[in-house]
Amino acid sequence: MIFFGIDPGTAVTGYGVIKSVNNSVTWLDSGVINTRPDSPLAERLELIYSSLKKKMGEFSPDRVSIEEAFYGKNIHTTLVLGHARGAAMLAAVKSGAMVSEYSPREVKKAVSGNGNASKDQVKYMVKMILSVPETNMKTDAFDALGLALCDFYHTGRSVQINR
């Protein structure tokens, strides 16, 4: 079963892909989609959508998990993040995968056992669980892998699709 995690953002969108076989998981791919801050929002969203669609076409995920919107003090940032989430959801639905959403707290608890874990703790656990190759991978990619792991822990153990 292939799990695809997305940490949406209009500047940087992280993605992570894992595969489960017999209740164990392995890393397949991860990275980020960077948009230009001086580009119009519509162009940034199109880049996010088309890049995610291409990656999902490459891996044909069974499930896609997307981080829920973070409600901060700045309403404009929350609204713009909603646009990035929408582009990611559209790409996920078009891929034919089942789509789920998880809060940052749910991801932290699933990956580290602590819903208040720091980003560094989540990154460390993702590295340990998946044996992610040592690269200059951004935090957003680790967050996306954490989302994929969270989805695996919540659903993947009970559902198996042979690939």
Which tokens hold the place of 130? 């998946």
What is the band of 4 on the pLDDT scale with cuts at 50, 70, 90? Answer: very high
Please name the residues in contact with 86: beta carbons below 8 A apart, sequence gap of 6 or more.
45
Q: Residue range 95-124: average pLDDT?
A: 92
CA neighbor of 70 nearest in space, from 26, 103, 97, 113: 103
Q: Express each pLDDT in 51-63 by its tens digit.
A: 999 999 999 999 9
**Dihedral (CA of 19, 87, 32, 50) sign:** positive
Q: Express each pLDDT in 133-152 by its tens digit.
A: 877 678 899 999 999 999 99
Q: Residue range 4-17: average pLDDT?
A: 96
Catalytic residue annotation: 7, 67, 140
- Between the alpha carbon of residue 85 and those of residues 19, 28, 91, 148, 159, the distances in Å are 23, 23, 10, 16, 26
Helix, strand, coil fractions of the chain, as percent rounded to 5 = 50, 25, 30
> What per-residue confidence (pLDDT) applies to 160?
45
* Structural domains of the chain sorted by starting position, each given as residue range(s) with its CATH number in brackets: 2-156 (3.30.420.10)
Tell me the HSE value of 147 on the side-chain side, using a 13 A CA sphere.
Answer: 29
Q: Rg for the chain (alpha carbons), in Å? A: 15
pTM of the model: 0.91
